[in-house]
């Protein structure tokens, strides 16, 4: 292992001692795209001891579903159970003016001031792949700093949920009560990764609607085949009210039960190993893609796509031509 520079060693030691400022600075380093920062971030992350007793919780929900108030309530519950909690966000759509939960911090009043909580707004800009890598490294930093529960939030922008589900142990989908014509529907693919569907805002006028919505999704979940490693009874749908606090302890119980079962069965470890290998393969594919793009011009790709679209060239013949050009370019590197 490469030796860390003195400033990096200090950052690492402060991080392992649980200093919040060190954690903030380390995440900033991980989020930087400067080459020297990237290299330092890589060295730092690789120097950390593996933390195996943490639980990583994915949380998704469309805007307006009450994600921040739920995180405030659920986060309080997690801390009350004796854990230290970090909240990260994945939002590839966020602009340079700030991530989505930066503004939401005001809606997490109590959590923000809790010394057992660490809240970090989403890294701004960049591709989903880049954001995903930075978030994954940030999780490792939070765990090294002693946060044994990490919530990774994402707004429902499609692929980001899949990315988050590939770096977390359990996945919560937050829904608003809705019925009949209001029913927007869940993005296809999202229900398939959810371990727990929480119908939020189950209070006041919406209580009855929330109950019906929960029953609808519970029925829909029963129509889908269970995944390997699914715990009996999961995926599941429940109601909760972040404002009244009802259902929050139940969500906490369910998450702990799910996690304990998966730890005991070995599924937890297998899932983490599989995630690591799958991240290696994803990183490899992305880099192979880059190598290809350096060798074969975008114009050539556009030309081939055009020929294939109009039916003037078969998809296979186009692929063969591209590979031929690629081989030639790679030899002459």
Give the DSSP per-residue string, 93-146.
T-BTTB-HHHHHGGGGHHHHH-TTEEE-PPPPSS-HHHHHHHHHHHHHHHHHTT
- Choose between 68 and 160: whose C-beta lies nearer to its own copies: 160
**Closest alpha carbon to 25 in 7, 52, 50:** 7
Minimal distance, residue 40 CB to its own copies, in Å: 14
Task: Output the CA–CA distances (angstroms, integers) from residue 241 to 72, 212, 249, in the order listed.
Answer: 12, 15, 11
Pairing outcome for strands 170-175 and 196-199: parallel
What is the SS3 assignment for 13? Answer: helix
Q: Which of 116, 217, 231, 254 binds its own copies (CB under 8 A)?
A: 217
Q: Which two tokens stand for residue 307?
A: 């020929």
13 versus 324: smaller Cβ distance to its own copies: 324
The bridge status of strand 85-90 relative to strand 149-155 is parallel
* Residue 34 touching its own copies (CB under 8 A): no
3 near its own copies, judged by CB under 8 A: no
* First CA to last CA distance, the chain: 31
- Among 9, 127, 184, 265, the residue binding its own copies under the rule CB under 8 A is 184
* Nearest-5° Cα angle at 149, 82 to 257: 75
By beta-carbon proximity to its own copies, the closer residue of 114 and 275 is 275
- Check if the beta carbon of residue 122 is closer than 8 Å to that of residue 101: yes
With respect to its own copies, which residue has the nearer C-beta, 107 or 321?
A: 321
CB pairs under 8 A, 24+ apart, for 19-27?
19/145, 20/118, 20/145, 22/145, 23/118, 23/141, 23/142, 23/145, 24/120, 26/141, 27/120, 27/138, 27/141
- Give the interface size with its own copies as a residue count (CB under 8 A): 57
Among 46, 109, 253, 293, binds its own copies (CB under 8 A): 46
133 binds its own copies (CB under 8 A): yes
Q: How far apart are CA 305 and CA 152, in angstroms?
A: 37
Instruction: Decide if residue 267 touches its own copies (CB under 8 A).
Output: no
Token representation of residue 309: 């679209």
Among 7, 63, 115, 311, binds its own copies (CB under 8 A): 311
Q: Considering only the stretches 22-30, 67-75, 246-254, 312-320, report the one whose residues sit in contact with its own copies under the rule CB under 8 A.
A: 312-320
Q: Which stretch binds its own copies (CB under 8 A): 40-48, 97-105, 111-119, 241-249?
A: 40-48
Pattern 288-307, binding to its own copies, x per CB under 8 A?
x--xx-----------xx--
One of 191, 196, 206, 240 touching its own copies (CB under 8 A): 191
Q: Smaller CB distance to its own copies: residue 77 or 195?
A: 195
Based on the shown chain and the rule CB under 8 A, indicate whether residue 309 belongs to the binding site for its own copies. yes
Q: Decide: is 245 part of the binding site for its own copies (CB under 8 A).
A: no
Place of tokens 């296809």: 188
Of the candidates 116, 163, 186, 255, which one interacts with its own copies according to CB under 8 A? 186
| Dihedral sign computed on CA atoms, order 14, 16, 21, 26 | positive
Q: Which residues of this protein are in contact with its own copies, per CB under 8 A?
A: 42, 45-46, 50, 133, 183-189, 191-192, 216-217, 219-220, 222-227, 273, 276-277, 279-284, 286-288, 291-292, 304-305, 308-309, 311, 314-320, 322-323, 326-327, 330-331, 333
């Amino acid at each position: 292992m490469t030796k860390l520079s003195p400033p990096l060693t200090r950052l690492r030691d402060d991080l392992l001692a649980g200093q919040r400022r060190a954690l903030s600075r380390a995440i900033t380093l991980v989020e930087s795209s400067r080459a020297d920062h990237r290299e330092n971030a890589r060295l730092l992350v690789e120097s950390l001891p593996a933390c195996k007793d943490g639980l990583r919780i994915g949380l998704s929900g469309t805007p307006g579903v009450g994600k921040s108030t739920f995180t405030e309530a659920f986060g309080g519950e997690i801390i009350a159970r004796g854990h230290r909690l970090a909240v990260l966000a994945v939002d590839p759509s966020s602009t340079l003016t700030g991530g989505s939960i930066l503004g939401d911090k005001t809606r997490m009043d109590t959590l923000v001031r809790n010394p057992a909580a660490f809240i970090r707004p989403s890294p701004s800009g960049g591709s989903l792949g880049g954001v995903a890598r930075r978030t994954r490294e940030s999780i490792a930093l939070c765990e090294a700093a002693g946060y044994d529960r990490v919530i990774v939030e994402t707004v429902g922008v499609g692929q980001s949920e899949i990315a988050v589900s590939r770096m977390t142990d359990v996945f919560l989908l937050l829904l608003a009560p809705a019925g009949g014509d209001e029913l927007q529907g869940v993005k296809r693919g999202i229900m398939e990764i959810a371990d727990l569907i929480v119908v939020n805002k189950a209070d006041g006028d919406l209580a009855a609607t929330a109950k019906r919505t929960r029953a609808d999704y519970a029925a829909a979940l029963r129509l889908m085949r269970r995944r390997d490693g699914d715990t009996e009874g999961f995926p599941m749908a429940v109601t909760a009210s972040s404002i009244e606090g009802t259902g929050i302890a139940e969500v906490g119980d369910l998450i702990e039960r799910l996690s304990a079962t998966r730890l005991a069965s070995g599924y937890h470890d297998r899932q983490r190993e599989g995630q690591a290998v799958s991240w290696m393969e994803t990183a490899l594919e992305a880099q192979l893609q880059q190598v290809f793009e350096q060798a074969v011009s975008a114009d050539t790709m556009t030309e081939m796509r055009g020929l294939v679209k109009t039916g003037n060239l078969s998809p296979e013949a186009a692929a063969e031509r591209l590979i031929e050009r690629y081989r030639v370019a790679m030899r002459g590197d």
